[in-house]
Amino acid sequence: MLAWDAAKRGAADPSDGENVVLHEFAHQLDFENYNTDGAPALATRAEYKTWARVMSSEFEALRIADETGGSTVLDTYGATNPAEFFAVAAEAFFERPRALRAKHPKLYAELVRFFPPGSFPLFHRARDNLA
Protein backbone atom coordinates (compact mmCIF):
# COMPACT_ATOMS: atom_id res chain seq x y z
CA MET A 1 0.00 0.00 0.00
CA LEU A 2 1.27 3.42 -0.91
CA ALA A 3 0.83 6.47 1.21
CA TRP A 4 -0.55 8.82 -1.42
CA ASP A 5 0.33 11.99 0.41
CA ALA A 6 3.95 10.87 0.40
CA ALA A 7 3.55 9.88 -3.27
CA LYS A 8 2.46 13.41 -4.12
CA ARG A 9 5.34 14.90 -2.15
CA GLY A 10 7.85 12.75 -4.01
CA ALA A 11 6.30 13.59 -7.36
CA ALA A 12 6.37 17.32 -6.58
CA ASP A 13 10.16 17.46 -6.81
CA PRO A 14 11.36 15.10 -9.50
CA SER A 15 15.03 15.53 -8.61
CA ASP A 16 15.10 15.23 -4.83
CA GLY A 17 16.04 11.56 -5.11
CA GLU A 18 12.90 10.52 -3.25
CA ASN A 19 9.92 8.96 -4.90
CA VAL A 20 7.74 6.60 -2.91
CA VAL A 21 6.03 5.22 -6.04
CA LEU A 22 9.37 4.25 -7.53
CA HIS A 23 10.49 2.92 -4.17
CA GLU A 24 7.48 0.63 -3.73
CA PHE A 25 7.63 -0.39 -7.37
CA ALA A 26 11.23 -1.48 -6.87
CA HIS A 27 10.13 -3.63 -3.91
CA GLN A 28 7.52 -5.27 -6.19
CA LEU A 29 10.18 -6.02 -8.80
CA ASP A 30 12.44 -7.37 -6.08
CA PHE A 31 9.60 -9.70 -4.96
CA GLU A 32 8.96 -11.09 -8.46
CA ASN A 33 11.21 -14.02 -7.57
CA TYR A 34 9.34 -14.38 -4.22
CA ASN A 35 12.28 -13.07 -2.22
CA THR A 36 12.53 -9.49 -1.04
CA ASP A 37 16.29 -9.51 -0.76
CA GLY A 38 17.50 -6.74 -3.03
CA ALA A 39 17.97 -9.09 -5.99
CA PRO A 40 15.15 -8.95 -8.55
CA ALA A 41 14.61 -11.67 -11.14
CA LEU A 42 17.61 -11.64 -13.47
CA ALA A 43 18.08 -13.71 -16.62
CA THR A 44 21.31 -15.57 -15.98
CA ARG A 45 23.57 -16.83 -13.20
CA ALA A 46 26.29 -14.53 -14.46
CA GLU A 47 23.96 -11.56 -14.06
CA TYR A 48 23.17 -12.61 -10.48
CA LYS A 49 26.87 -12.90 -9.72
CA THR A 50 27.68 -9.44 -11.01
CA TRP A 51 24.58 -7.98 -9.38
CA ALA A 52 25.49 -9.53 -6.01
CA ARG A 53 29.10 -8.35 -6.20
CA VAL A 54 28.24 -4.76 -7.14
CA MET A 55 25.24 -4.45 -4.79
CA SER A 56 27.08 -5.85 -1.75
CA SER A 57 30.03 -3.55 -2.15
CA GLU A 58 27.79 -0.49 -2.75
CA PHE A 59 25.59 -1.49 0.21
CA GLU A 60 28.67 -1.79 2.43
CA ALA A 61 29.91 1.62 1.28
CA LEU A 62 26.52 3.17 2.08
CA ARG A 63 26.54 1.57 5.55
CA ILE A 64 29.93 3.10 6.22
CA ALA A 65 28.81 6.50 4.91
CA ASP A 66 25.73 6.24 7.13
CA GLU A 67 27.82 5.45 10.21
CA THR A 68 30.45 8.09 9.55
CA GLY A 69 28.08 10.78 8.29
CA GLY A 70 29.76 10.89 4.87
CA SER A 71 27.87 12.58 2.05
CA THR A 72 26.04 10.24 -0.31
CA VAL A 73 23.99 10.38 -3.50
CA LEU A 74 21.92 7.53 -2.09
CA ASP A 75 19.46 8.02 0.75
CA THR A 76 21.08 6.40 3.80
CA TYR A 77 17.77 4.64 4.46
CA GLY A 78 19.18 2.22 1.90
CA ALA A 79 21.72 1.13 4.53
CA THR A 80 18.84 -0.58 6.42
CA ASN A 81 19.09 -3.84 4.46
CA PRO A 82 19.70 -5.05 0.87
CA ALA A 83 16.01 -4.76 -0.09
CA GLU A 84 15.86 -1.10 0.97
CA PHE A 85 19.19 -0.55 -0.75
CA PHE A 86 17.76 -1.69 -4.08
CA ALA A 87 14.65 0.49 -3.65
CA VAL A 88 16.72 3.56 -2.74
CA ALA A 89 19.14 2.88 -5.62
CA ALA A 90 16.20 2.67 -8.07
CA GLU A 91 14.92 6.03 -6.80
CA ALA A 92 18.35 7.59 -7.30
CA PHE A 93 18.69 6.00 -10.75
CA PHE A 94 15.55 7.74 -11.99
CA GLU A 95 15.77 10.95 -9.97
CA ARG A 96 19.50 11.65 -9.76
CA PRO A 97 20.87 9.81 -12.79
CA ARG A 98 23.85 12.07 -13.45
CA ALA A 99 25.05 12.16 -9.85
CA LEU A 100 24.58 8.41 -9.55
CA ARG A 101 26.50 7.75 -12.77
CA ALA A 102 29.34 10.04 -11.66
CA LYS A 103 29.71 8.70 -8.10
CA HIS A 104 28.59 5.08 -8.52
CA PRO A 105 29.41 4.01 -12.09
CA LYS A 106 29.22 0.28 -11.34
CA LEU A 107 25.89 0.56 -9.56
CA TYR A 108 24.64 2.78 -12.38
CA ALA A 109 25.70 0.17 -14.96
CA GLU A 110 23.78 -2.58 -13.14
CA LEU A 111 20.66 -0.42 -13.00
CA VAL A 112 20.92 0.51 -16.70
CA ARG A 113 20.96 -3.21 -17.47
CA PHE A 114 17.94 -3.78 -15.26
CA PHE A 115 15.98 -0.68 -16.35
CA PRO A 116 17.04 -0.38 -20.02
CA PRO A 117 15.92 2.65 -22.02
CA GLY A 118 12.45 1.91 -23.35
CA SER A 119 11.43 -0.06 -20.27
CA PHE A 120 9.14 1.59 -17.72
CA PRO A 121 8.37 4.55 -20.03
CA LEU A 122 6.74 6.66 -17.34
CA PHE A 123 9.81 6.60 -15.14
CA HIS A 124 12.21 7.05 -18.03
CA ARG A 125 10.26 10.04 -19.34
CA ALA A 126 10.57 11.77 -15.97
CA ARG A 127 14.26 10.87 -15.97
CA ASP A 128 14.87 12.23 -19.45
CA ASN A 129 13.42 15.56 -18.35
CA LEU A 130 16.30 15.85 -15.89
CA ALA A 131 18.99 15.23 -18.48
Identity (one letter) of the amino acid at 72?
T
Instruction: Give the number of C-alpha atoms closer than 13 A to the C-alpha of residue 3, restricted to the C-beta side.
Output: 6
Q: How many CB atoms lie within 10 A of CB 114?
A: 19
Residue of 73, 87, 92, 107 that binds Zn ion (CB under 5 A): 87
Contact code string over 25-64 relative to Zn ion, x by CB under 5 A: ----------------------------------------
Does 73 participate in binding Zn ion (rule CB under 5 A)?
no
Nearer to Zn ion, 84 or 110 (CB): 84
Does 22 participate in binding Zn ion (rule CB under 5 A)?
no
Q: Which residue is nearest to Zn ion (CB)?
A: 87
Residues 6+ apart with CB under 8 A from 16: 10, 95
